[in-house]
Every structure is written in C-alpha cells, then in structure tokens.
C-alpha cells in the first residue's frame, strides 16, 4: 500500500488520482499511526517550507516518516515534499528540515522570472530504478521559487537549467525527491510515479 501524507500543504488529490489512474493501490494518510503498515510513502506539497515543517510536527508525522526510511521502505518527496528532505530551508526564516539528504533550500537569485513556472527539461547525471533511461531532455512541469542546494553531488540524479543549473531529482538509498510535479507532467510524469510504486528501495 502506498501512502500519501496529508499534512495540509496541497496537491494531495492530484497525486492520489494519478496513482489510481495507474492502478496503484494508494491511500491518503491523515494520522501518523497509518504510516507503519505502508510499503511506500509519498510526501507531496505546495507552499512554505517553514509552514510545512510546522504542520508535520503538529500532526506528529516526523518520527513515523523517519522510521519508514530507517526500515528501508521507499520514500518520495514531490516539489515542496522534496525540499523537506533537506537539512534546512530559509523560506520565512531558517527552519530545520527532515535531514534525510544533506543540503539547504535556498531562493533563486536570478534575472529570470521567479517563481520558475512551466515546462522545462532535465539532464540525467546517473541511472536510478525510478528515473530509468528515458527522461533525459524530457520536459516536466515546475512551480517553485526555491531550490535544493545539495551538499553531495552523488545525491543528485538530474539537473535542470533556469539561468542557473539546479538539482531537479535527488536520491539517497531508499529516498528520492522530485522538484517538478510528476502528477502534472503527463505521460513522462506518470511513468516516474509508476516506477516509484514498483521500486523496492534498492539502487
């Protein structure tokens, strides 16, 4: 069973509907006790890093999420959910993240329009069971004003150019984070979600 964490930060139903369309058995998680029996966990999200971490803490989701990872079960973060994997973020003040992949969430300081909204392609740096071999130079749908400044390059799977080059997919062990919205990225995005649902957490 694949759980989608509902911590009050948006796009829950679109992720669920995409998984349902793919025939993946999924459920929306509203309480921390529901996480224990899951095989896979997804943290979606849209909005503020600081508010998201506060919501996860208030709803007592943090420890069950970390335990899920410790038990070697696959975890996927989408958009804001990817950013929450980081050590810390700076949106509305410095805030500790889940600390699952080392790095910081920092704002775009560029001449191009921020937020970065729309279709953009990704450049694959290395293979991964979820990413596969068919996403290089494929367009996906982005909406974000901050990006993941990853500490260790080996944790980066793909990069994207938007005046600067930033990580668009990160991964470490049984954890993967996607900056764009696969649920809004048509067939290529659905392929990534399906690959995650089939992934055993091993690389």
Query: Catalytic residue at 24?
Result: no
The rounded distance, in Å, linking the Cα atoms of 121 and 131 is 13
Query: Catalytic residue at 116?
Result: no
Q: CB of 73 within 8 A of CB of 40?
A: yes
Beta strands in 10-128 (DSSP E): 26-29, 40-43, 75-78, 88-89, 95-96, 103-107, 116-121, 123-124
Strands ordered across the beta sheet of 123-124: 26-29, 2-5, 40-43, 75-78, 175-178, 164-172, 156-162, 123-124
The one catalytic residue in 68, 128, 144, 181 is 181
The one catalytic residue in 91, 116, 144, 183 is 183
First CA to last CA across the chain, in angstroms? Answer: 21
**Other beta carbons within 10 Å of 1:** 13
Which residues are registered as beta bridge partners of 167?
159
The one catalytic residue in 40, 68, 79, 144 is 79
Helix (H) or strand (E) run with residue 90 in it: none
Query: Catalytic residue at 183?
Result: yes
Please list, in sequence order, all residues whose beta carbon lies within 8 angstroms of the beta carbon of residue 60, skipping any fewer than 6 positions away. 32
Residues catalogued as catalytic: 79, 181, 183
């Amino acid at each position: 069973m694949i759980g989608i964490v509902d911590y009050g930060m948006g796009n829950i139903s679109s992720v669920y509907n995409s998984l349902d369309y793919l025939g993946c058995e999924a459920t929306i998680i509203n309480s921390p006790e529901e996480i224990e029996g899951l095989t896979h966990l997804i943290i979606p999200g849209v909005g503020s890093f600081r508010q998201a971490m506060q919501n996860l803490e208030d709803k007592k989701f943090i420890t069950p999420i970390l335990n899920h990872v410790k038990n070697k079960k696959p975890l996927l973060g989408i958009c804001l959910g990817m950013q929450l994997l980081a050590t810390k973020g700076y949106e509305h003040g410095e805030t500790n993240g889940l600390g699952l992949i080392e790095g910081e969430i920092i704002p775009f300081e560029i001449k191009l329009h921020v937020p970065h909204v729309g279709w953009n392609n990704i450049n694959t740096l290395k293979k991964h069971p979820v990413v596969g071999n068919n996403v290089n130079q494929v367009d996906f749908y982005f909406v974000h004003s901050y990006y993941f400044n990853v500490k260790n390059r080996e944790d980066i799977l793909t990069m994207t150019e938007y005046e600067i080059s930033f990580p668009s997919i990160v991964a470490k062990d049984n954890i993967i984070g996607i900056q764009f919205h696969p649920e809004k990225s048509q067939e290529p995005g659905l392929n990534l979600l399906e690959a995650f649902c089939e992934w055993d957490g091993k690389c």
